[in-house]
Amino acid sequence: MAKRLESTLINMIFSLVLISMAMSAALALVYQKTKGPIEMAQKQKELNAIKLVLPEFDSDPSSGATEKDGVFIYTVNKQDQPVGYAIKSFTEKGFSGHIEIMAGFLPDGSIHNISVLQHKETPGLGTKMTDPSFSRQFLGKNPETFALRVKKDGGQVDAITAATISSRAYCDALQRAYNTLKMVNDSLSVAQ
């Protein structure tokens, strides 16, 4: 008859180490299998957002991408003529923290469209920043002449009722997008 293992501290630790190693290997395998599809889905989501915020284009946005301080600028063309810039921007000033947007700017600096990519704002209040009725007030405006601050702060933006913090954060992310675009374009002009 086989001798039964004693339940000792060493046997318990050995068993836990084996179980931990097996679970770590299983997690690593799942990570390797899902990493590619997750990255592809994220890239497709970004491409869809770029298409949403800019007029029709025929170039590959990722080929002309520039990153500056966590803000990504995608330059797009149609028949080798500039159509605009899709800018993935962010702010940490939301009521619930991080907000990420994709803003489309035309070559003249005016805003073509905006899409909220990620947020954790209060349902029914801060989430109204995703409504077209809120973002419509920015369309066609140039941040050079349109103050991207809520009216309460001396700007020209109608804040979302009961969600002033979310409105300020949206404006902050949009202003960051414009400032980064301007900085990158100015540095390119100087280099030429």
Q: What is the dihedral of CA 34, 36, 37, 38, to 10 degrees?
A: 80
41 pLDDT above the threshold of 60 = yes
Tens digits of residue pLDDT in 4-28 = 666 788 888 999 999 999 999 999 9
Burial class of residue 50, CB neighbours in 10 A (0-12, 13-18, 19+): buried
pTM score of the predicted model: 0.78
Q: What is the dihedral of CA 115, 117, 123, 127, to 10 degrees?
A: -20
The rounded distance, in Å, linking the Cα atoms of 174 and 163 is 17
